């Protein structure tokens, strides 16, 4: 299953959630608090050096 790293207060995140919903694609939502720096941890930066959400992780792990 796809995994969406997101912050539900984010407009950019909303766009990703809207598209996935319109395409009827199921996904696991992983909430990241951007205000608390949760997208700037070494673990998150290893997935996305940009350090921002939304981030869509594919089933392949990419």
Ligand X SMILES: N[C@@H](CCC(=O)N[C@@H](CS)C(=O)NCC(=O)O)C(=O)O
Residues that bind ligand X (CB under 6 A): 10, 12, 34, 39-40, 50-53
Q: What is the nearest approach in angstroms of ligand X to the Cβ of residue 17?
A: 12
Phi, psi torsion values for 5, nearest 5 degrees:
-90, 125
How crowded is residue 13: how many other Cβ atoms within 10 Å of its Cβ? 22
Q: What is the nearest approach in angstroms of ligand X to the Cβ of residue 57?
A: 14
- Beta strands 55-57; 2-6: pairing state: antiparallel
Q: What is the nearest approach in angstroms of ligand X to the Cβ of residue 4?
A: 12
Nearer to ligand X, 17 or 52 (CB): 52
Q: What 3-state class would DSSP assign to 5?
A: strand
């Amino acid at each position: 299953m796809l995994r969406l790293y997101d912050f539900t207060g984010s407009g950019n995140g909303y766009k990703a959630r809207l598209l996935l919903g319109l395409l009827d694609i199921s996904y696991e939502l992983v909430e990241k608090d951007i205000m608390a720096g949760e997208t700037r941890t070494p673990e998150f930066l290893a997935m996305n050096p940009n350090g921002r959400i939304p981030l869509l992780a594919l089933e392949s792990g990419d």
